[in-house]
């Protein structure tokens, strides 16, 4: 599943491909991806230029002349950029024809991805960005401490909750808690100020490094056609069950926290 660093990689890649291009035609093969009437969706998009691409949390925000297109890739959504006329395949659900003679195709095997077309003036107050939490590099210590220490739930579940903090998925929470030396089953109310600080620092560092390396390519996900991340080479615990901890040599174990596969060093994390 693409997490924040992978979505950032998609954003940067798209920026090099589709900026300043105008949408000339839209093919919709699976309308459920778009959260509105398909004729309105096409009619509004045609003739608008792609001016800027931002990211908030795991949402891609494509700024057009009058509207913004907000894309969430969910489990397996991805884009392909091919010459016009390239045959669409089974899992291609939308195809945007561009003024440079290319087509941008949205491909999604699981079909969980979403696109919202919202006017420029409303996109922060309506739709999916309305209640979006801050990212680790946007939140300050006091805010973050308040969010964690009032919760009687496992720290791992708190960090995964996108309403609390945006952009930390399963891989990056495991790596953050390992680097901070915190057992993922500890409850928020028992995390000390010093530990909150360690978690925030570790989260920022992990995400920064992952973005720098283009995200993590494990299992089936790659950010774009042929774009591979390299953060998988930096993972210290995630996917490392049975291997020695890189710090102390204790065997890393895999457990479950709230149903999510969780990798821990029983010696370093307490
Ligand atoms: Zn260890």
Q: Give the residue extent of every domain in the chain.
A: 4-129, 141-264
Predicted confidence band of residue 208 (pLDDT cuts 50, 70, 90):
very high
Say whether 2 is catalytic.
yes
What's the mean pLDDT when you consider all of the chain? 93
In the predicted model, what is the mean pLDDT of residues 260-264? 96
Distances (CA, A) of 13 to 35, 54, 81: 25, 12, 10
pLDDT > 90: percent of the chain: 84
- In which element (H, E) is residue 23 found? strand 23-28
Q: pLDDT tens digits for 106-145?
A: 999 999 999 999 999 999 999 999 988 999 999 999 999 9
Q: In CATH terms, is domain 4-129 a member of 1.10.540.10?
A: no
Ligand 1: centre distance to CA 23 (Å) = 52
Q: What is the pLDDT of residue 75?
A: 85
Span from the CA of 228 to the centroid of ligand 1 (angstroms): 29
User: What pLDDT does residue 228 have?
Assistant: 75
The pLDDT of residue 123: 96
Residue 222 has pLDDT above 80, yes or no: no
Looking at the domain that runs over 141-264, which CATH code has it been given?
Answer: 1.10.8.50
User: Is 138 annotated as catalytic?
Assistant: no
- What is the residue whose two structure tokens read 């100020």? 193
Average pLDDT on 27-45 reads 96
Out of 58, 145, 156, 240, the active site residue is 58
Identical fold, 4-129 and 141-264: no
Specify whether the CB–CB gap between 160 and 175 falls below 8 A: no
Question: Does residue 222 carry a catalytic annotation?
Answer: no
219 pLDDT above the threshold of 60: no
Query: pLDDT of 38-92, one tens digit each?
Result: 999 999 999 999 999 999 989 999 999 999 999 999 888 999 999 999 999 999 9
Predicted pLDDT of residue 230? 85
Q: Are 160 and 169 in contact (CB under 8 A)?
A: yes
Catalytic residue, candidates 12, 254, 260, 266? 260
Q: Report yes or no on whether pTM surpasses 0.85.
A: yes
CA dist., res. 163 & res. 140, Å (int):
16
CA of 176 from ligand 1 middle (Å) equals 14
For ligand 1, the distance from its centroid to the CA atom of residue 105, given in whole angstroms, is 44
Known catalytic residue at 145: no
Distance 150 CA to ligand 1 centre (A): 29
Per-residue pLDDT at 220 exceeds 60:
no
């Amino acid at each position: 599943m693409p997490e924040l660093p992978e979505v950032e990689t998609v954003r940067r890649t798209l920026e090099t491909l589709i900026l300043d291009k105008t949408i000339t035609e839209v093919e919709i093969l699976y309308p459920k991806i778009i959260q509105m009437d398909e004729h309105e969706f096409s009619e509004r998009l045609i003739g608008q230029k792609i001016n800027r691409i931002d990211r908030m949390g795991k949402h891609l925000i494509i700024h057009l002349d009058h509207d913004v297109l907000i894309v969430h890739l969910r489990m397996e959504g991805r884009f392909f950029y091919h010459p016009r006329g390239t045959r669409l395949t089974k899992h291609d659900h939308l195809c945007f024809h561009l003024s440079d003679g290319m087509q941008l195709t949205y491909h999604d095997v699981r079909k969980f991805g979403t696109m919202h077309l919202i006017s420029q003036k409303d996109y922060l107050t309506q739709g999916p960005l309305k209640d979006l939490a801050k990212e680790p590099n946007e939140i300050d210590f006091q805010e973050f401490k308040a969010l964690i220490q009032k919760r009687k739930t496992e720290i791992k579940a708190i960090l995964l909750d996108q309403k609390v903090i945006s952009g930390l998925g399963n891989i990056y929470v495991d790596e953050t808690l390992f680097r901070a030396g915190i057992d993922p089953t500890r409850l928020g109310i028992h995390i000390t100020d010093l530990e909150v600080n360690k978690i925030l620092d570790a989260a920022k560092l992990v995400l920064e490094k992952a973005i720098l390396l283009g995200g993590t390519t494990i299992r089936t996900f790659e950010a774009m056609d042929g774009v591979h991340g390299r953060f998988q080479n930096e993972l210290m615990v995630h996917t490392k069950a049975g291997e020695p901890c890189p710090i102390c040599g204790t065997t890393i174990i895999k457990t479950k926290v709230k149903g999510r596969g969780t990798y821990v060093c029983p010696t370093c994390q307490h």
